[in-house]
A and B are shown apart, each in its own frame.
Chain A
Amino acid sequence: MQSSFFNDLDGIIEFEYLEPKTTKEACAWLNQYQENAKIIAGGTKLMASMRQRKITPRYLINLKSILNLEFITADEEGLRIGALTTLYAISQSSIANDKAKILVEAIQQREPGVNQARWAYYMATMGGHLSHPASSVDIAPPLIILGAKAVVEGLKGWKTIPLEDLFDQNGEAAFQKDEVLTEIRIPKLSADIGLVYMKSGGSSGAPTFNTAVSLQLDGKHVNVEELRIVVGGVTPKIMEAREAVGFMKDKPIDNDLIEETARAAAKEVGGRSDAEAEGRAQELIEEAIRQAVDRAIGEFALGY
């Protein structure tokens, strides 16, 4: 029966609310109830999907009843963020600001959109964001260039998946339906890597693009040793420009090379996008590379 306007969730079928004590228990229920079970983390996407009858789970498995999934810690190996940590908590965390500033910058640049629905910013979790390509579009690019890995737990144990491999070409998650993403691990990075996240809002409803760039120079600040360019929003899948970076690698920084690299990267990640979109992506990437050079040089940067 379709619910009336004010009946809200009343019209949907009843569901059981399960509260696992451990991740294993959650996985066992996911395995037992298959399509009939859904994990609830922040609930911001799930509630909307249920209300629109896109999904009608008979069992909701509340991850919040598992004690150790909400944390931000740093040790010798790097930074660890529990899957239930909200984006708000990450942006407020001094550890995250210190160790993964670019992730915080990406979260903060989301804010104007999310502010319209501030509650979603408070409630939505890291795991919820990374469970679907569309909701990961803002935070996956910085995580990819930070070299982050997702820890996924299932009945048989746990494994790590590099962030860039979290979804396949068709947008299907690399982890199984009875597995739970439990944390994100970000390795310790050398301080002289220039990391930049930038976002460009499209005019008159055109989609928002974003890019995350990491760049490392040699000791003399002359040659580009490492460069990664990851772009979100241009195509449904988050793309890394792997070939275009070849223009700059092991060569001295040079204005023409930056332009050439940005042009090639925009083409590489653009799929079948039109010239306008490709031009916008190119501009964004170019500016991000310039800022990454400055950040890699640090306090002696003159502005590239």
Chain B
Amino acid sequence: MDIAKKILKVNVNGRPYELLIKPKTTLLQFLRNDLGLTGAKQACMDNSCGACTVIVDKMAVKACSVLALQVNGREVMTVEGLASRDGKLHPLQQAFLDYHAFQCGFCTPGKLMSSKAMLDENPHPNEEEIRRDMEGNLCRCTGYTQYIEAIKAVAQKKEVAK
């Protein structure tokens, strides 16, 4: 069967794209292979680990488990879009550095995107809420302490700034 490619119109990290893709392309494949945005990582591929997490219209989504065509017309943000254009790190990125919240860094893009979506929705989570919200992002190196501290620090700063 000769399968028709479909047009995907999507905005990624503030830039509009219009590409012809095979319907079975996942969002993760599209970002990594078609756009060269390799920040979102390919790991378990069965929505368990969170390494592939990106933000679609403010929601943290597992890019391995969504078809690219499902985000047609929507806004996607990957870790590449997190720092400002002049290179200034996002407060979460800075806090992850300050708190040594990673070793190999493979899980970090996913963790950053999950925590950004969480803080955008709930700017002042308590530790229990942070732990619960980050359950879907696994790490095999660092353990689960430093990045919780990093996220807490950003949440507290937001509170002070307010």
Contact = CB atoms under 8 A, between A and B. Distances in A.
B136 A14 contact: no
Interface stretch (A114-122, A145-153, A177-185, A262-270): A114-122
Contacts of B37: none
A91 interface: no
B61 A122 contact: yes
B125 to A, nearest CB: 12
A15 B133 contact: no
A196 B6 CA distance: 47
Contacts, number: 86
B61 A119 contact: yes
B59 A122 contact: yes
B20 interface: no
A193 interface: no
B1 A14 contact: yes
Nearest to B45: A8
A44 B22 contact: no
B114 A118 contact: yes
Interface string B63-107: 011110110000000000000000000000000000000000000
A112 interface: yes
Range, interface on chain A: 20 to 34
A60 interface: yes
Contact of A115 (B4, B48, B136): B136
B4 A16 contact: yes
A51 B29 CA distance: 14
Interface in B1-35: 1, 3-4, 6, 22-26, 28-29
Q: 6 closest A-B pairs (Cβ-Cβ)?
A: A17-B23, A14-B3, A122-B59, A119-B61, A116-B135, A119-B62
Interface of B: 1, 3-4, 6, 22-26, 28-29, 42, 45-48, 53, 59-62, 64-67, 69-70, 114, 117, 132-133, 135-136
Given A5-B45, A8-B26, A17-B6, 9 more contacts: A8-B28, A8-B42, A43-B67, A47-B66, A119-B59, A119-B62, A122-B59, A123-B66, A123-B70
